[in-house]
Amino acid sequence: MSNAVIRIENLTKRYGLVTALDDISLEVERGTIFGLLGPNGAGKTTAVKILTTLARPDGGKIEVIGTDILKDPVRVRSLIGYVPQELTVDPYLTVQEHLRYYADLYHLSAVGKDSRIREVLGLVGLAGYENRRARYLSGGTKKKIDLACGLIHRPPLLFLDEPSLGLDVQARRDVWSYILRLKEQGTTSFLCTNYMDEAERLCDIVAIIEHGRIAVIGSPAQLRSQLKRDVISIEIASADEHQRKELEVLEKAVSQLRIVQGTVKNGTQLKVYVESNEIALPQILQSAASLSIPIRTITYSRPGLDEVFLHYTGHPFADERKIDA
């Protein structure tokens, strides 16, 4: 038996004329955190809805924990936890009442129910909140209720659709640490995210999805090393109007260099993709000097997932999000 808890073969889903998922195939291994990373409208939520039996695929074969999702959806439901993208707390219920509700929907027996609820509340840092009504809690705390409800029945496989959407820095870190703790306990997570840093921090394997198609799959380290290139970021020091023109001039000059593979302008910043920092840096500095463009900062780094995204889709991640939003 293979170690895959999710096996997707040629999954396709259409909404009218929109092809939300286009011939997707992938596997998720037991005990790992798998990330579906993509901009708004890429098809992440659609994929999760199909895997959680809430939407029907138009084509393909899907197995979740060894069960065909179309043949035995009820078994699939009993084995998975699902935390949707939007908050689903009920403002009238207290924290404790939420957990009792889901405990009963997952048919937990009366014995040990309360201790399990206490355990889950402890895990997501909600101990002491038992009798607070959801209506009066902050967004971050509500998200933790949602998370706790998805864990109540100890699911071996957890679906998290953008778990840190709209949370502040501290709450995001908290949520991340719960997800990592679950992994230590052996839970497999299937995570959708919009955030590069979230994918880098949490995921063992990342699939970059765009327009319903998987652009590339691999571990963050693999994806980065495949690029075989470094990034140099340049900021120039001059007044606003000048800045734009000078940045353009610099971009043109730099892209003539043989060692430069590509450039992207992002506000006041110019990103230059090169084969090797060591060789490129002096050359870039020299062309700036010969054009007498004053450079404020120049930094270089190994590529992140946003560069991976750019490489495989041909355009930057941030731009795509702006267009769709």
Partner 1 sequence: MLEFAQETKAQLVRWMIHLRREPFNMAFNLLNPVILLIFMGGAFQGLAQDSVGGDYRAYLLPGVLALTVFGNSMAGGIPLLFDKENGFLLRLMSAPITRVSILVSRFLAININTSLQCLIILGLGFIFGIRIATGVGGVLTLMVIGLLLGFGVTVISLILAFILENHGDFFAILGISALPLSFLSSAFVPVDSLPVWMRLIAWVNPMTYTIDAMRSLILSGWHGSLLAQMAVALVLFDGAMLWFGAKVLRRHLA
Ligand X SMILES: Nc1ncnc2c1ncn2[C@@H]1O[C@H](COP(=O)(O)OP(=O)(O)OP(=O)(O)O)[C@@H](O)[C@H]1O
- Using CB under 6 A, which of the segments 33-41, 95-103, 226-234, 285-293 binds ligand X? 33-41
Residue count, binding to ligand X (CB under 6 A): 13
Please report whether residue 194 would count as binding ligand X according to CB under 6 A: yes
Q: Are 199 and 257 in contact (CB under 8 A)?
A: no
The closest alpha carbon to 100, from 114, 115, 90, belongs to 114
Which of 12, 78, 85, 263 forms a contact with ligand X (CB under 6 A)? 85
Please report whether residue 18 would count as binding ligand X according to CB under 6 A: yes
Please report whether residue 188 would count as binding partner 1 according to CB under 8 A: no
Please report whether residue 45 would count as binding Mg ion according to CB under 5 A: yes
Q: Pick one of Mg ion, partner 1, ligand X, none as the site partner of residue 194 (Cβ within 5 to 8 A by kind).
A: ligand X
Indicate the residue among 16 and 282 with the shorter CB distance to ligand X. 16
Please report whether residue 44 would count as binding ligand X according to CB under 6 A: yes
Which of 6, 8, 11, 20 forms a contact with ligand X (CB under 6 A)? 20
Q: φ, ψ for residue 36 (rounded to 5)?
A: -105, 110
User: Phi/psi class of residue 16: alpha, beta or left (left: φ > 0; alpha: ψ in -120 to 50)?
Assistant: left
* Shortest Cβ 97–partner 1 spacing (Å): 7
Indicate the residue among 41 and 303 with the shorter CB distance to ligand X. 41
Indicate the residue among 158 and 223 with the shorter CB distance to partner 1. 158
Q: Are 159 and 190 in contact (CB under 8 A)?
A: yes
Please report whether residue 111 would count as binding partner 1 according to CB under 8 A: no
Build a one-symbol-per-residue string for 84-103: x at contacts with partner 1 by CB under 8 A, - elsewhere. x-x-x-x-xx---x--xxx-
Please report whether residue 163 would count as binding ligand X according to CB under 6 A: no
Name all contacts of 171-180 with Cβ < 8 Å and 24+ positions apart. 171/140, 171/143, 171/144, 172/198, 174/124, 174/125, 174/140, 174/144, 175/143, 175/144, 175/147, 176/201, 176/202, 178/123, 178/124, 178/125, 178/147, 179/33, 180/33
Which of 10, 25, 40, 301 forms a contact with ligand X (CB under 6 A)? 40
Q: Pick one of ligand X, partner 1, Mg ion, none as the site partner of residue 80 (Cβ within 5 to 8 A by kind).
A: partner 1
Please report whether residue 207 would count as binding ligand X according to CB under 6 A: no
Indicate the residue among 190 and 273 with the shorter CB distance to ligand X. 190
C-alpha 253/C-alpha 12 separation (Å) is: 45
Please report whether residue 323 would count as binding partner 1 according to CB under 8 A: no
* Shortest Cβ 50–ligand X spacing (Å): 10
Q: Which residues touch 216 (CB under 8 Å, ≥6 apart)?
A: 207, 208, 223, 308, 312
C-alpha 157/C-alpha 6 separation (Å) is: 9
Q: Are 261 and 229 in contact (CB under 8 A)?
A: yes
Residue count, binding to Mg ion (CB under 5 A): 3
C-alpha 247/C-alpha 269 separation (Å) is: 8
C-alpha 272/C-alpha 48 separation (Å) is: 36
C-alpha 157/C-alpha 320 separation (Å) is: 30
Q: φ, ψ for residue 213 (rounded to 5)?
A: -120, 145
**Contact residues for partner 1 (CB under 8 A)?**
49, 52-54, 74-75, 77-78, 80, 82, 84, 86, 88, 90, 92-93, 97, 100-102, 104-107, 133
List of residues contacting ligand X (CB under 6 A): 15, 18, 20, 38, 40-46, 85, 194
